[in-house]
Structure 1
Amino acid sequence: MVILREQTPSLDTHLWDARVRALYDYWLERCRDGCPPRRSDIDPVDLPHLLRWLWLVDVTRDAPDRPLRFRCRLMGTEHVRTMGHDPTGKWMDEAFPTFLTNPTYSDYVQVAQNAVPSYRAGMPLYHLDKNHVRMERIMLPLLGGGKTIDMMLAITVYLRGIVVSP
């Protein structure tokens, strides 16, 4: 499937955590002709202050009759520390047993199929069971060799000590 975005989405970022907004702005600057950047357009040297919160996910399209699968390519140290384990190299549905049945799975699919960012703030839904933690994250599509999304760049920041009512 060929994916080309007609325009870069416009998101209201004024209330976002500065780290999440910084990655989103960096990604936007690298979008060209209405298309997301490629992985080669992203240079970690440009983002040293964000590295510990960043993560990369590979998008796998094995067969048209199978759902998309996602493999954790890289997980930043703050993310690993907060979760208590490192899912790097693992399939998301294996590292997190409720991943496929969780509403967040559709966020991954939307990013991969529609080449649009996915922003979310609130309690962690599938990867962390701590009611005192609030998270904020954005997942950003990256083009592969053709015109399909084969990777996602993301950042998740955790804010502790905040009680979130259901």
Structure 2
Amino acid sequence: MAELPYRDFERAEQAQSDKARRLFEYWLQLKRNGRPGPRIAFDPTEVPSLLSSLLLGDIEPDPFRVFFRLAGTRVAAFSRLDFSGYYLDALDYKGRDSVEWADCYRHVHAKQIGVIGINRVTWPDEAPLEYEFAVLPLERGGDPAGSFIAIEVYDSLDPNLIGEMPEVRVFPKG
């Protein structure tokens, strides 16, 4: 069985980046009775330096779907698409990302624990790029992992390569 590109995020020291560590430490402050804190407790003014790298959304269990409420400006630029307001299953990232994002969010929802990992972005005629990401559950509507806050850290990547990368696309409606 292939190794997953992420693992349970249980300690801040697991993060390679300062940004992922800071988000994890903030998320720990939101927890209540050992469970993910409520989405409404997330206050963007408490993590202003992370906002451009964050994703916020909901995880709907039946049928399983992931809805992106907000993609930060750096995330949108890197993806070459502002996918705020879209469901994950409407986005075409196959062949680009090494992470199967639906499985990643299923893991977070099922275990009610965050994950941290490395996504490898590949495209023809270029060396793959890697970046660290984390997805952390938040409680919504009585579901301990019905929402999430996530971060993608591109700080070590050459920003000049972003324009060359394949974009995330919205599947055509059909």
Which TM-score bucket, shorter chain as reference?
0.7 to 0.9
Q: Which has the higher helix share?
A: 2
- Contact residue 132 and residue 160 of structure 1 kept, 8 A: no
Paired residues in the alignment total: 147
Alignment of 1:69 onto 2:65: yes
What CA distance in whole angstroms lies between the structure 1 residues aligned with 2:112 and 2:149?
12
Alignment of 1:123 onto 2:120: yes
Q: How does 1:50-69 map to 2 (within 5 A)?
A: 50-63=50-63, 68-69=64-65
How far the C-alpha of 1:90 sits from its partner, in A, is 0.9
Aligned residue number for residue 111 of structure 1: 108
Most deviating of 69-78 and 142-151:
142-151
Runs (4+) of structure 1 exceeding 3 A deviation are 128-132
Aligned residue number for residue 93 of structure 1: 89
What is the RMSD computed on CA atoms of the aligned residues? 2.6
How far the C-alpha of 1:86 sits from its partner, in A, is 0.9
TM-score (norm 1): 0.77
Describe the shift of the 1:92–1:28 C-alpha distance in structure 2 as closer, same or farther (beyond 3 A).
Answer: same
Q: Deviations over 1:19-74 (max 9, x none)?
A: 111000000122121101111111001011110000012111234xxxx1111110
Aligned residue number for residue 164 of structure 1: none
Q: Which consecutive residues of structure 2, in runs of 5 or more, have no partner in the other structure?
A: 1-7, 159-174
How far the C-alpha of 1:14 sits from its partner, in A, is 5.5
Describe the shift of the 1:27–1:12 C-alpha distance in structure 2 as closer, same or farther (beyond 3 A).
Answer: closer
What CA distance in whole angstroms lies between the structure 2 residues aligned with 1:124 and 1:10?
25
What CA distance in whole angstroms lies between the structure 2 residues aligned with 1:52 and 1:9?
21
What CA distance in whole angstroms lies between the structure 2 residues aligned with 1:150 and 1:14?
24
What CA distance in whole angstroms lies between the structure 2 residues aligned with 1:24 and 1:12?
6
What CA distance in whole angstroms lies between the structure 2 residues aligned with 1:12 and 1:46?
18
| SS of match in other structure, 1:27 | helix
TM-score (norm 2): 0.74
Q: Which consecutive residues of structure 1, in runs of 5 or more, have no partner in the other structure?
A: 1-7, 162-166
One-letter code aligned to 2:130: R
Alignment of 1:34 onto 2:30: no
Q: Which has the higher strand share?
A: 2
Q: Deviations over 1:112-136 (max 9, x none)?
A: 12110010124137xx887452211
